[in-house]
Amino acid sequence: MWSFSSSRSVLGILMTSLLVFALCLVPIHAVRAEGIESGALSLSARDDGYFLSADYRIELPQRLEEALLAVPLFFVFDYELEQRRWYWLDKTVASGAVTYRLSFNALTRQYRVAINADGPRSASATLNFASLEEALRLISRVRREAVLPASALDRGERYRLTARLRLDLSQLPKPFQLNALTQREWLLDSEPRRISIEPR
For residue range 89-101, list pLDDT tens digits in order. 899 999 999 999 9
Which long-range contacts does 37-40 make (Cβ < 8 Å, 24+ apart)? Answer: 37/190, 38/163, 38/165, 38/190, 38/191, 38/193
Nearest CA among 40, 49, 66, 72 for reference residue 165: 40
The per-residue pLDDT for range 13-54, each reduced to its tens digit, is 444 343 334 334 434 333 446 799 999 999 999 888 999 999
Which amino acid is present at 150?
A: A
Name the pTM for this structure: 0.78
In the predicted structure, residue 9 carries a pLDDT above the cut 90: no
